[in-house]
Chains A and B, each alone.
Chain A
Amino acid sequence: MIDEIAKQYEGRIPVPLIEEVKREAKEVKLTKAQAEAVFAKLEEKYKYAKIQAGEAIGIVTAESFGEPGTQMTLRTFHFAGVAEVNVTLGLPRLIEIFDARKEPSTPLMIIYLKKPFNKDEKSLEKIIAQIKEIRVHEVLSEISINLLKLHVEYVLNKKRMKELGIPEDSAIKAIKDALKTIDLTEKDGRYTATPKSKDGGLPALYTLKERIKEVKVNGIEGIQEVIPKMENNEIMLLASGSNLKDVFKIEEVDFTRTITNNIFEVAKNLGIEAARQTIIAEASKVIQEQGLDIDIRHIMFISDLMTSKGEIKGITRSGITEEKESVLARASFETPIRHLINASLIGEVDMLNSVVENVMINQPIPLGTGLPSLITKLAKESKK
């Protein structure tokens, strides 16, 4: 019965609202007349709430972020609970998201695991070992420069390597692969790395030593820390550092749910729609954590704008503002001289169809009440 009435309203009221009425109606058992009344009332309310044409929704959104922005804290770090990873939050993070920085200052992944593994604590250590990046300096017991022979000597900490489950030869292979300009020899567990050319002298040896220490021997590039966490009765991993592509390759990882806070990485691996969702999620997280209330529509709106061109555009002079057609609009934001000079070279014409230009020349702006115009048919001039 209710479905029939609902059907009439399809296309007139958004689907989520209709669904909600259906759900609620089931609980309170509405009669037909009541259901009809409910829908009629809902449509009336919806018509009232519907946004009006010409509404300057852009500036409303900017205000909705700008005003609470003054109330946000600058505090960068936040300790959520006892054993969690540090995340940048508050105003700095919001700026980071809207700027569309290539790398967040604190990259973070939430890695979910596939069915049997997400309850199994025993296999956890192995999975973590696969993900967490381990560099040579973490498995070294000593490293030094031999000044006489001009080479670098080091000894691997075999006990530690065993703990971490890294076979020795893979470590050696990693160093060999990473540094092509050295010869590597072994004697009694002591490795000597000699540069193939002696041109660099001592400074080259120092850099070589540092480079050896930084070679990745195991795990995924860029993941510095992996911490298991129990949530909703399943184990998940929090990783500081982000590398979506390589984490997806690990068999135990449930790639349908695993996420990162690096927007560009999401765009590259999962597409622009996923990036849009990530921007929404990340911005909402900041706002919620600050105890502010900003409607989701505003966040969606900015996210849509940043991603509507198929790639992520920041809200900066090189991002969205650069895209503007109007010379004067761009010039009034930042670097006016550059924009005027470049405009003169290609003979740009400002058609005056956005806001600031019209403010500049004291004309009504094409928004709200400035939008409607009157078209009249001129009576044909009588021939003289």
Chain B
Amino acid sequence: MEMIFKKVGSISFSLLSPQQIKKMAHVKMVTPELYDKEGYPVEGGLMDTRLGVIDPGLRCRTCNGKLKECPGHFGYIELGRPVLHISYIKAIYTFLQTTCKECSRILLDDENILKYQSKIDKLKSIGKEDLIPKISKLARAGAKNVKKCPHCKAKLTPAKFEKPSTFMEDTKRITPIEILERFEKITDQDCLLIGVDPRYARPEWMVMGVFPIPPVTMRPSITLETGERAEDDLTHKLSDIVRINQRLFENINAGAPEIIVEDLWDLLQYHITTFFNNDIAQVPPARHRSGQPLKTITERIKSKEGRFRHNLAGKRVNYAARTVISPDPKIELNEVGVPTLIAMELTVPERVTEWNIEWLKTFIKNGPKNYPGANYVLDGLKKKKITAETQEVILTELCPGQIVERHLVDGDISIFNRQPSLHRMSIMCHKIRVLPGKSFRLNPSVCNPYNADFDGDEMNLHIPQTEEARAEAEILMEVETQIMSPKHGLNVIGCIEDAVTGNYLLTDDRMEMSREEAIELLVSIGLEDSKKLNALKKKVTGKEVFSAVLPSDFNFVYDKVVIENGQLKTGQIDPKTIGEDNGTLLRDINRSYSEAECVDIFGKIFKLGIAYLQKRGFTITTSDADIPEEVREKAKNIIAEAITSVNDTIDQYEHGRLKNFSGKTVEETLELLVMQKLNETRNMVGKMISKTVSDTNNAIIMSKAGKGNILNLAQTSVLVGQQALRGKRIERGYKNRTLSLFREHDKSPEAKGFVRHSYKNGLNPVEFFFHAMTGRDSLMDTALRTPKSGYLYRRLANALQDLKVEYDGTVRDANKSIVQFAYGDDHIDVSRSENGTIDIKKIIDEVSRKTK
């Protein structure tokens, strides 16, 4: 690997002149043939070895480089007749419109020329070159549709553009030869006024008399299994061009009739047009024999799979792995479990020093096949593979300065990612933990930032290879630094599932356990210090057990939860304190302690929840959805009442007694009233259930500890409720009715998608159908939304990507023009704030507590 220390300062764009094309070319093409009988490239053919090499073993005859060394070289052909460059057709048209056909001067009188020229000069002198295009736009507009040349007084008829590539004056065609002649006479000054800088693009260069042949390295042929060679699309196209050009020459030299020559000329134009762009309206695309259109220059560049977006803005990397993920609540938040198989394939380059040489030797001794081993040793530019044969030599030769590519070991830095990488928490730094098995293991708490689940998701792992990369990853990207989201200043990582339920049950006011049990529990999560538990008490409350994992100087108040000096006094831990997105307790810990301490405390809370729940056991049964008889009776009454009331409203509507709301028709009013009533019903039922069902019900515990809500229980046990489609009750299907078994214009709840049964008791067929309708609708919504929001995101990212905070505190774009004088008016970084602000009340509380 050779190091290059040069920096690219700028890239300029210009049009190739015929002289430049010839100058950079090394070969003049003379034959459309590719290979001779023996299969060697023909001299002067399109695969000439002077254009670069694509076969291993051959050497380039221009630079003597081997495959991968030689970058390839251009060739050229002289065209029999000049041809227009299709991509510049609009510019050619502009020049034809704005210049005189006789004297080739711009069609502006001297006064105007002077006016625009002085404006341009002025802009140049004040360094505002970027505004020049606006002046030339005005100049162009002024020079169009002029009837008489202000310079040579010639009468003019406007040139007409006929797609794809012909120009007409009256009824006569302007041939590319004529265009070339006219353009050659245009002065540099006029070019500038029209908006083309003659230093970079003379108008006559848009008409090609010399055609560059791209190097073979950019159009390599592939050898099929049968040994046949399949040429690249560009090579096909080029051989067409060379062949037709040759025939054109032959015919011209033989003095063939003009018609034949012109036909060939048009054909040449066609081939060159499709060489550049094979997707132009009115031009039939050039095709393979199979009928599939050729992929030529434009197609290579544009769109998502094109050069820009596929190869330049996104690149492939080495030292990466991908496999299925699975959860492991026992590993730390900032760890990732890596299969041994992967740990032996991915390597970390470790420079040999006199202090680590013995340690690295153990890796080399293990070789590439035993873990933890090493795969390669780098000695300067030489890369030596470690095998059973080379092992001995390498070991004896090992000296400081060499680099050993050793297997991954626990604690190595890695970068872990799940697509789609929608925010910066989609790529975080984890410490390696080599584990048996074949999947990546991650702590379930980091599912939320990655938006991962374990139904077959795969994730990617990258190993940074330089010291700088590792340092950046560790300092800027490690999981504990990403707990607070820059989106809203709340924690994206929190306890989930069992960890919440466990802590919720543990911190219940009635919870008590023996001291032995408590210590056993704490030891099982790695907390061996039981000082915080009162040694005199035989019984320990759940709150005391929970307090054991908190630091003793921690104070916290949220709602009913009160923690004083690391003791949970009152309140029950729930998702609002330790959950995702708004876990206030976790946020406070994050703010008050260092990142390492924070991860430690968080891990203990998490493990405590799981350990306790595992000990206690937790499940849910069908009987949890059983509702006492009297409650069910009450619910029935509520539903019946609602339906009567709705039928009442419908009755009013049918008899024309319903008064419409202003701005709504009577029908819309009815729908609104009915919807309101029916939705209300479900909420009423939900509320009633939450009041009557005991809080030892497993479903209720679950809903309070993070998963699901009361409404789910209501839907399972009593009433599913109104099905809404696009914010309305279900309409249509059949003519004026939803299903053929209803009467036309039936407005009753059951005919419009009201599901009055519960999931547990079962839906009737009609209800089931309506329920399926809304289900399908929401699926469609998701499917349609993803690309829309994806495009919005891409546009946003593209527009905003180079805005940054400058050293002076202003926010500026890449041109250094100011967007904001102070970021967010107060310079506050959202991810370091508390939900967007700094909590002053908390500061005051803290201060007054201390001074008390």
Q: Is the CB of A67 within 8 A of B423?
A: yes
Interface status of B848 (Cβ within 8 A of chain A): yes
CB proximity of A218 to chain B, nearest CB, Å: 18
In the complex formed, the residue of A with least CB distance to B810 is A53
In the complex formed, the residue of B with least CB distance to A68 is B487
Interface status of A270 (Cβ within 8 A of chain B): no
CB proximity of A255 to chain B, nearest CB, Å: 24
A30-48: contact bitstring with B at CB < 8 Å (1 yes, 0 no)?
1101100110011001101
A233-267: contact bitstring with B at CB < 8 Å (1 yes, 0 no)?
00000000000000000000000000000000000
Contacts of A41 in B (CB 8 A): 843, 846-847
Contacts of B813 in A (CB 8 A): 58, 354
Contacts of B10 in A (CB 8 A): 349-352
Our pick among A38, A49, A73, A357 for the contact of B828 (Cβ within 8 Å) is A49
Complex alpha-carbon distance, A49 and B830, angstroms: 8
Interface status of B792 (Cβ within 8 A of chain A): yes
Contacts of B88 in A (CB 8 A): 341, 345
Known: A337-B301, A366-B814. 6 other contacts (CB 8 A): A61-B803, A62-B799, A66-B789, A73-B781, A340-B301, A349-B12
Q: Is the CB of A20 within 8 A of B840?
A: yes
Q: Is the CB of B201 within 8 A of A347?
A: yes
Please tell me which stretch of A104-112, A144-152, A192-200, A319-327 contacts chain B, meaning at least 4 of its Cβ atoms lie within 8 angstroms of it: A319-327
Instruction: Pull 29 A–B residue pairs with CB atoms less than 8 Å apart, ordered by A.
Output: A24-B844, A28-B844, A41-B843, A42-B843, A49-B828, A52-B829, A54-B804, A56-B803, A57-B805, A59-B801, A61-B803, A85-B663, A98-B796, A293-B487, A293-B581, A295-B833, A298-B830, A300-B824, A324-B802, A332-B308, A332-B313, A336-B302, A346-B201, A349-B10, A354-B801, A354-B813, A361-B8, A363-B8, A368-B804
Please tell me which stretch of A3-11, A75-83, A168-176, A203-211 contacts chain B, meaning at least 4 of its Cβ atoms lie within 8 angstroms of it: A75-83
Q: Is the CB of B802 within 8 A of A355?
A: yes
Interface status of A202 (Cβ within 8 A of chain B): no
Complex alpha-carbon distance, A123 and B651, angstroms: 35
Q: Is the CB of A58 within 8 A of B840?
A: no
Complex alpha-carbon distance, A10 and B708, angstroms: 48
Q: Is the CB of B844 within 8 A of A30?
A: yes
Q: Is the CB of B195 within 8 A of A66?
A: no
Please tell me which stretch of A114-122, A154-162, A180-188, A301-309 contacts chain B, meaning at least 4 of its Cβ atoms lie within 8 angstroms of it: A301-309
Interface status of B800 (Cβ within 8 A of chain A): yes
Contacts of B788 in A (CB 8 A): 74, 91, 95
CB proximity of B203 to chain A, nearest CB, Å: 9
Q: Is the CB of A83 within 8 A of B490?
A: no
Q: Is the CB of B676 within 8 A of A82?
A: yes
Please tell me which stretch of B345-353, B496-504, B520-528, B815-823 contacts chain A, meaning at least 4 of its Cβ atoms lie within 8 angstroms of it: B815-823
Q: Is the CB of B487 within 8 A of A295?
A: yes
Interface status of B472 (Cβ within 8 A of chain A): yes
Q: Is the CB of B490 within 8 A of A293?
A: yes
Interface status of B87 (Cβ within 8 A of chain A): yes
Q: Is the CB of B313 within 8 A of A359?
A: yes
Q: Is the CB of A297 within 8 A of B836?
A: yes
Closest 8 CB pairs of A and B: A347-B200, A58-B803, A66-B793, A297-B824, A354-B814, A58-B800, A69-B789, A354-B802
B652-692: contact bitstring with A at CB < 8 Å (1 yes, 0 no)?
00000000011110000000110010000000000000000
Our pick among A304, A344, A363 for the contact of B819 (Cβ within 8 Å) is A304
Interface status of A178 (Cβ within 8 A of chain B): no
Q: Is the CB of B800 within 8 A of A61?
A: yes
Interface status of B727 (Cβ within 8 A of chain A): yes
Interface status of B133 (Cβ within 8 A of chain A): yes
A49-B832, A74-B788 known; A57-B487 Cβ under 8 A? no
Interface status of B825 (Cβ within 8 A of chain A): yes
Q: Is the CB of B487 within 8 A of A294?
A: yes
Q: Is the CB of B197 within 8 A of A347?
A: yes
Tell which of B490, B786, B790, B843 has the most Cβ of chain A within 10 Å.
B843
In the complex formed, the residue of A with least CB distance to B420 is A70
CB proximity of A111 to chain B, nearest CB, Å: 14
Q: Is the CB of B13 within 8 A of A344?
A: yes
CB proximity of A348 to chain B, nearest CB, Å: 5
Residues on A close to B: CB < 8 A? 14, 16-17, 20-21, 24-25, 28, 30-31, 33-34, 37-38, 41-42, 45-46, 48-70, 72-75, 77-79, 82-83, 85, 91, 94-95, 98, 225, 227-228, 293-298, 300-302, 304-305, 308, 315-317, 319-321, 324-329, 331-333, 335-337, 340-341, 343-357, 359-363, 366-369, 371
Q: Is the CB of A48 within 8 A of B832?
A: yes
Q: Is the CB of B201 within 8 A of A344?
A: yes
Q: Is the CB of B792 within 8 A of A94?
A: yes
Contacts of B801 in A (CB 8 A): 56, 58-59, 62, 354-356
In the complex formed, the residue of A with least CB distance to B824 is A297
Complex alpha-carbon distance, A78 and B676, angstroms: 14
Report, as a range, how many residues of chain B touch the other chain.
35 or more
Interface status of B400 (Cβ within 8 A of chain A): no
In the complex formed, the residue of B with least CB distance to A341 is B87
CB proximity of B116 to chain A, nearest CB, Å: 15
Interface status of B807 (Cβ within 8 A of chain A): yes
Q: Is the CB of B799 within 8 A of A315?
A: yes
Tell which of A34, A58, A326, A355 has the most Cβ of chain B within 10 Å.
A58
Q: Is the CB of B199 within 8 A of A74?
A: no
A56-B804, A57-B805, A352-B8 known; A51-B795 Cβ under 8 A? no
Our pick among B422, B661, B814, B826 for the contact of A83 (Cβ within 8 Å) is B661
Contacts of A82 in B (CB 8 A): 661, 672-673, 676
Q: Is the CB of A325 within 8 A of B487?
A: no
CB proximity of A113 to chain B, nearest CB, Å: 17
Contacts of A326 in B (CB 8 A): 814
B312-324: contact bitstring with A at CB < 8 Å (1 yes, 0 no)?
1101000000000
Interface status of B215 (Cβ within 8 A of chain A): no
CB proximity of B279 to chain A, nearest CB, Å: 10
Contacts of B171 in A (CB 8 A): none
In the complex formed, the residue of A with least CB distance to B671 is A79
Tell which of A63, A95, A327 has the most Cβ of chain B within 10 Å.
A63
Contacts of B487 in A (CB 8 A): 63-64, 67-68, 293-295, 298
Complex alpha-carbon distance, A297 and B823, angstroms: 8
Q: Is the CB of B827 within 8 A of A347?
A: no
CB proximity of B608 to chain A, nearest CB, Å: 29
Interface status of B309 (Cβ within 8 A of chain A): yes
Q: Is the CB of A70 within 8 A of B661?
A: no
CB proximity of B447 to chain A, nearest CB, Å: 15
Contacts of B306 in A (CB 8 A): 336
CB proximity of A6 to chain B, nearest CB, Å: 12
Complex alpha-carbon distance, A362 and B8, angstroms: 10
Q: Is the CB of A348 within 8 A of B13?
A: yes
Q: Is the CB of B726 within 8 A of A91?
A: no
Interface status of B259 (Cβ within 8 A of chain A): no
Q: Is the CB of B795 within 8 A of A98?
A: yes
Our pick among A54, A63, A332 for the contact of B312 (Cβ within 8 Å) is A332
Q: Is the CB of A42 within 8 A of B836?
A: no
Complex alpha-carbon distance, A66 and B790, angstroms: 7
Our pick among A69, A73, A346 for the contact of B195 (Cβ within 8 Å) is A346
Contacts of B828 in A (CB 8 A): 14, 46, 49-51, 297
Tell which of A56, A327, A361, A366 has the most Cβ of chain B within 10 Å.
A56
